[in-house]
């Protein structure tokens, strides 16, 4: 594992596939110009704001999202995580899928979100992701990279389930991806503390790209894409506007924290 810059992209995606992909490429281009070698896009980066339209267009969204990730990764010679897009599943539903792609445009790892966001929030908004999404059944993967470290995949609501990240750390994860479209209501209280908790308890870097702002009249995201170090220090925070959080991933820092706080070696229950 070498030292490198990682970027967590922040977007305001809309129910407009082409607009979103253009916005994503513009931000990827900027991240690469700033020196990023690992770029991550948020959940729903290619389409957000109209669930019925997403279902109707799922085949096209899936095809165009995957093509986009492989094309821009190769074009900019950078490793890219597409943090979540719909891939058709049985019975007219889809999987919420994260895809990690190499600078050669090759698929490195794929993860279908296992925890679905079915909640009734105090602000009056009801979310029922399982109405249209099928939960994945495979353990979240860790991609082992000699240059970038061991990269563990997850998506958004997964952040509330620490056992998933324990599984990733047991598989050697050193950098955890948590791409999200966190709601404005839950984000203000829970987003940062959960991201920091996952970093601290696993002594791992966390790269958390995010959605921000209004996607339609009812859906609003919290923002604050961030990169957090293994001690839980927020190294970069994108605030509430589209843009990015960009920060160095340092193997020496990782080893230092794991030496000083060897909690992963002290686990009793597995």
The residues annotated as belonging to the active site are 43, 113, 156
d(CA 190, CA 69): 30
Local structure of 177: helix, strand or coil? strand
In the block, which residue shows the tokens 């002594």?
Answer: 203
Report the sign of the C-alpha dihedral through residues 113, 51, 99, 175, in that order.
Answer: negative
Burial of residue 57 (CB within 10 Å: 0-12, 13-18, 19+) is: middle
The token pair at 252 is 């020496």
Burial of residue 125 (CB within 10 Å: 0-12, 13-18, 19+) is: middle
Q: Please, are residues 101 and 76 in contact by the beta-carbon 8 Å criterion?
A: no
Q: Which residues contact 260 (CB under 8 A, 6 or more apart)?
A: none
Residue-by-residue DSSP string for 7-59: EEEEE---S-HHHHHHHHHHHHHHHHHTTEEEEEE-TTTT--S-HHHHHHTHH
């Amino acid at each position: 594992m070498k030292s490198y810059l990682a970027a967590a992209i922040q977007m305001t995606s809309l129910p407009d596939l082409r607009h979103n992909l253009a916005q994503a490429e513009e931000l990827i281009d900027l991240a690469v110009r700033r020196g990023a070698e690992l770029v991550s896009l948020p959940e729903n980066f290619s389409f957000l704001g109209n669930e019925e339209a997403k279902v109707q267009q799922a085949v096209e969204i899936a095809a165009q999202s995957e093509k986009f990730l492989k094309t821009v990764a190769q074009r900019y010679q950078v490793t890219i995580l597409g943090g979540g897009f719909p891939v058709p599943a049985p019975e007219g539903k889809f999987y919420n899928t994260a895809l990690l792609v190499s600078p050669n445009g090759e698929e490195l790892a794929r993860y279908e979100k296992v925890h679905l966001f079915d909640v009734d929030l105090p602000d009056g908004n009801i979310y029922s992701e399982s109405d249209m999404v099928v939960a994945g059944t495979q353990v979240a993967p860790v991609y082992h990279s000699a240059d970038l470290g061991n990269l563990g995949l997850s998506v958004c609501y997964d952040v509330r389930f620490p056992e998933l990240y324990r599984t990733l750390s047991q598989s050697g994860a050193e950098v955890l991806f948590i791409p999200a479209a966190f709601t404005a209501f839950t984000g203000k209280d829970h987003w940062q503390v959960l991201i920091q908790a996952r970093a601290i308890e696993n002594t791992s870097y966390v790269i958390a790209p995010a959605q921000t702002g209004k996607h339609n009249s009812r859906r609003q995201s919290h923002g604050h894409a961030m990169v957090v170090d293994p001690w839980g220090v927020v190294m970069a925070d994108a605030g509430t506007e589209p843009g990015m959080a960009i920060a160095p991933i340092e193997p020496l820092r990782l080893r230092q924290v794991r030496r000083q706080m060897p909690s992963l070696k002290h686990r009793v229950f597995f």
